[in-house]
Every structure is written in C-alpha cells, then in structure tokens.
Amino acid sequence: MKSQKIYPLAFSFECFPAKTERGKTTLIETCETLAKLNPCFFSMTYGAGGSTRERTLAAVAEVKAATAIEVTPHIAGIGASHDEIRALLDHYRQQEIRHLVVLRGDIPSGLRDAGDFQYASDLIKFIRDESGDYFFIETAAYPEIHPQAKSAQSDLQSLKLKFELGADAALTQYFYNPDAFFHLIDECEKIGIDQPIVPGIMPITNYLQLARFSDTCGAEIPRWIRRRLEGYGDDTASIRAFGEEVVTRLCEQLLQGGAAGLHFYTMNRAAPTLAIWDNLGLSSDKASRARR
Ligand code: FAD
C-alpha cells in the first residue's frame, strides 16, 4: 500500500444522538473530553428513514456549541424524498456546516418505500447537483466487503462510483484485520481511486454487544479475538484490557502502514478512545485541522 499521508492525517470521533436527558449529558461530556485531543471533526449518526432527524440536528448544534470543533452530520438517503434532503441541506447550510457523511443507511425492517435514493451514490449525485462543491463529502467503504454486495468487485465499483459522483474521502466500516484495509487501499489504487480512505476503529469494551453489531454490519471478529473475549465471561476489566491492547496494536499497524488517519466509533464514551489514543502516543497536535 502506498502511503496515504500525502493528506494531513485526519482523526475523527463518531457519536450518536442520545435519546434521554442523561444520554444527552453523557454525549456532551464525552465530546468535551475528546475535544481536548483536537480532532479533525466529530461526526453524528442519522437514523435511516429519518428516525433520528430532529435528534441528530439538535445534537450537531449542541456538540458544535459545546466544543467549537467541527461537527459532521451523517445523512442517510434510504426512504427519503428529494424535498426532505433538500430541506436538510438548507438547514445545514444555514448552520454553516460544510462537511457531511453521506450514506444509503441501514434499511429499516418493514420499509415499504425506498424513497428517491436507492444507493448512497444517488444521494451524493443529488447533493452535488443541488449544492455544487459547497459540502466536503465523506462516503462509506468496506474493507471486509459490504454484506449485501453481489461481489467484492461490484462493491469496489460502487465505491468508485461514489467518488466519481463527488465523494471527497471515505471512512470505513470497522474491522480487526489490518490486511483487509491494506488490500482495499491497494485495490483502490489499481482502479485510480486516490482519495483518502480513513479506517474506522471500534474499541472493544463489551463482547456481546460487539458480536451482535458485527453480525449485522458484516465486520469480522477474528476467531482468536472472539475466543479470548468469550473466555473472559463477565470479567469486564479483562475484556477491556485485552480489547485495548488489540485495538492499539491495530491502530499502530494502520498508521505505520500509511493510513490517512483514524475514525473512532466512540459509542458516546470517551475512556476507551482516550486509552487507545494515549497508548499510541498521539498528541493533540497530531489531530489535523478541518479538511476545508
Ligand atoms: P451504498 O454505497 O449504497 O452500498 C449499499 C450496498 O449496495 C452495497 O452492498 C453496495 O455494494 C451496493 N451497491 C451500491 N451501489 C450499487 C449499484 N449501483 N448497483 C448495485 N449495487 C450497488 N447507517 C445509518 O443508517 N446511519 C448512519 O449514520 C450510518 N453511519 C455510518 C458511518 C460509517 C463510517 C459507515 C461505514 C457506515 C455507516 N452506516 C450508517 C451504515 C451504512 O448505512 C450501511 O452499511 C448501509 O448498509 C450501506 O450504506 P452505504 O452508504 O455504504 O451504501
């Protein structure tokens, strides 16, 4: 893999909009703590079909106000109409938000109408048609292949199409096998994709939750990691210590191998990400400034 370090390294932290008052307080406290690391941006997830629309909008504004760090909203196209997305884009323009994570979204069970955007590429095209180059667009990439892809090749072509239609960079699904990431970058280079692709990092803190997530999103937990975690049973301290060691090592390999940064899935908790950050010896200077 050729180093992607021609771009400034981008460190970012993904959060989700909380449902309860207590959750909202935790979200803000988490972001205030992680803001001290001077990340490139926080990103805020969005429920496909608009299920978290109001909560996402509110959380984006609140985290931005509390931290003065750029907050990048996710937008999921599935189930949405052109008018709904137009209204969302107008809202973000008014908030002077210029950076989006653009996705198809996880298809909600029982969804009857796919709406105006079948794939993320349809939404990227729409945003470029509506807003020119106003927004910096991140898209999703899958080192271990998206679970619904017809083939590895078609998944790669889908990623290429998203870049051709206007994506500027990609954040990946999480994974624990660095070779899957390096292989994806090599394959991208072969077909002329040279935009930065930042690996997604999921700290390990709770085995059952991780196993459930991984089954649905198609991320593989290597057997040796799974068996170790299973062996710890209810011993959460050992799970965390082992998880921290494994994920720190993964991040080291990715950065040494030339990855363009790290995108942490924080699950709205600061401590697991902070521990890995400290182990990596990353200073707040290393987290690059906003991309635009
Ligand atoms: P797409 O790029 O549209 O791909 C979906 C599937 O369709 C893939 O299998 C692809 O190979 C295939 N495909 C694409 N284009 C074509 C085509 N033209 N013809 C045939 N097949 C095609 N989900 C949420 O609901 N909300 C979030 O906030 C959210 N945030 C995420 C953040 C990151 C960094 C990542 C990696 C994922 C996130 N997800 C989120 C999950 C994501 O929405 C799911 O993985 C979803 O199933 C696919 O989204 P996508 O944007 O990659 O879709």
Contact 41, 292 (CB under 8 A): no
Residues in the chain: 292
| For ligand 1, atom 8: residue with the closest CA | 149
Is 56 close to ligand 1, i.e. is its CB under 6 Å away? no
Q: Closest Cα partner for 62 from 30, 100, 103? A: 30
Average pLDDT estimate for 27-48: 97
Does some domain include residue 3?
A: no
Is 171 close to ligand 1, i.e. is its CB under 6 Å away? yes
- pLDDT value of position 107: 86
- pLDDT value at 8 more than 80: no
Q: Closest Cα partner for 41 from 11, 75, 15? A: 11
Alpha helices in 9-119 (DSSP H): 21-35, 53-67, 82-94
Q: How far apart are CA 155 and CA 219, in angstroms?
A: 15
Q: What are phi and psi of 67, to 5 degrees?
A: -120, -20
Structure tokens given for 53: 């629309």
The model's pTM: 0.96
Domain tally for the chain?
1
The DSSP-derived string for 35-62 is HTT--SEEEE---GGGTTHHHHHHHHHH
- pLDDT value of position 1: 66
| For ligand 1, atom 42: residue with the closest CA | 105
Tell me which residue range forms the domain holding 121: 10-287
Atom of ligand 1 nearest to the CA of 147: 9
Residue of 104, 117, 142 to test ligand 1 pocket, by largest number of atoms within 8 Å of CB: 104
Is 148 close to ligand 1, i.e. is its CB under 6 Å away? yes
Does some domain include residue 66?
A: yes
Does some domain include residue 194?
A: yes
| For ligand 1, atom 7: residue with the closest CA | 149
Q: How far apart are CA 68 and CA 38, in angstroms?
A: 10
* 188-247 confidence digits (pLDDT tens): 999 999 999 999 999 999 999 999 999 999 999 999 999 999 999 999 999 999 999 999
Does some domain include residue 4?
A: no
Find all residues with CB under 8 Å of 107, minimum gap 6, and list them: 48, 78, 114
| For ligand 1, atom 32: residue with the closest CA | 140
Does some domain include residue 106?
A: yes
Instruction: Tell me which residue has tokens 């996705």.
Output: 103
CATH number of the domain encompassing residue 38: 3.20.20.220
Known catalytic residue: 14? yes
Does some domain include residue 1?
A: no
Strands 71-76 and 10-15: unpaired
Does some domain include residue 203?
A: yes
Q: Closest Cα partner for 170 from 117, 257, 101? A: 101
Q: Closest Cα partner for 93 from 135, 129, 124? A: 135
Q: At 198, which helix (H) or strand (E)?
A: strand 197-201
Contact 198, 171 (CB under 8 A): yes
- pLDDT value at 292 more than 50: no
Does some domain include residue 2?
A: no
Is 260 close to ligand 1, i.e. is its CB under 6 Å away? no
* 107-162 confidence digits (pLDDT tens): 888 878 889 999 999 999 999 999 999 999 999 999 999 999 999 999 999 999 99
Distance 236 CA to ligand 1 centre (A): 32
